[in-house]
A and B are shown apart, each in its own frame.
Chain A
Amino acid sequence: MTQVPCAADRRAVLMGAVSLAALPWTAFAARADANADGDLALRAAIREAVGDRQAVDGGIALRAPALAENGGQVPISVLVDTPQTPADHAVAIHIFATRNPTPGVASFRLTEKLGRAEVQTRIRLAQEQTVIVLAQMNDGRVLRAAADVRVTTGGCLT
Chain B
Amino acid sequence: MSRPLSLPRIRAPRAAKPGEIVEIRTLIEHPMETGLRSEAGKLVARDMLTRMIVRANGETLIDAEFRNGTSANPYHVFFMRIEATTELEIVWTDDVGRSVKGNARILV
A-side residues, CB < 8 A to B, are: 6-7, 72-74, 77, 95, 97, 100-102, 104-111, 113-116, 118-125, 155-158
A110 — which chain B residues lie within 8 A by C-beta?
A: 61-62
B72 — which chain A residues lie within 8 A by C-beta?
A: 72-73
A6 — which chain B residues lie within 8 A by C-beta?
A: 37-39
Name the distance in Å between B17's Cβ and chain A's nearest Cβ: 13
Bound-state CA distance A102–B66 (Å) is 11
Cβ B64 vs Cβ A120 within 8 A: no
A6-B38, A72-B72, A124-B71 known; A118 vs B65 contact (CB < 8 Å): no
Cβ B71 vs Cβ A113 within 8 A: no
Of the candidate stretches B4-12, B78-86, B94-102, the one touching chain A is B78-86
Name the distance in Å between A78's Cβ and chain B's nearest Cβ: 10
Bound-state CA distance A115–B24 (Å) is 13
A97 — which chain B residues lie within 8 A by C-beta?
A: 69
Chain A, Cβ-Cβ closest to B65 = A107
Cβ A111 vs Cβ B68 within 8 A: no
Bound-state CA distance A124–B70 (Å) is 6
* Pick from B60, B64, B74, B77: contact of A107, CB under 8 Å: B64
A72-B72, A156-B37 known; A113 vs B59 contact (CB < 8 Å): yes
Bound-state CA distance A95–B63 (Å) is 14
Cβ B76 vs Cβ A114 within 8 A: no
Cβ B37 vs Cβ A157 within 8 A: yes
Chain B, Cβ-Cβ closest to A96 = B69
Chain B, Cβ-Cβ closest to A70 = B71
Bound-state CA distance A113–B83 (Å) is 10
Cβ A73 vs Cβ B61 within 8 A: no
Cβ B71 vs Cβ A108 within 8 A: no
B34 within 8 A of A: yes
A125 — which chain B residues lie within 8 A by C-beta?
A: 69
* Pick from B21, B38, B78, B80: contact of A7, CB under 8 Å: B38
Identify which of residues 6-36 in chain B touch chain A, using a CB-to-CB cut-off of 8 Å.
21, 34, 36
Residue of A77, A95, A109 ringed by the most chain B CB atoms within 10 A: A109
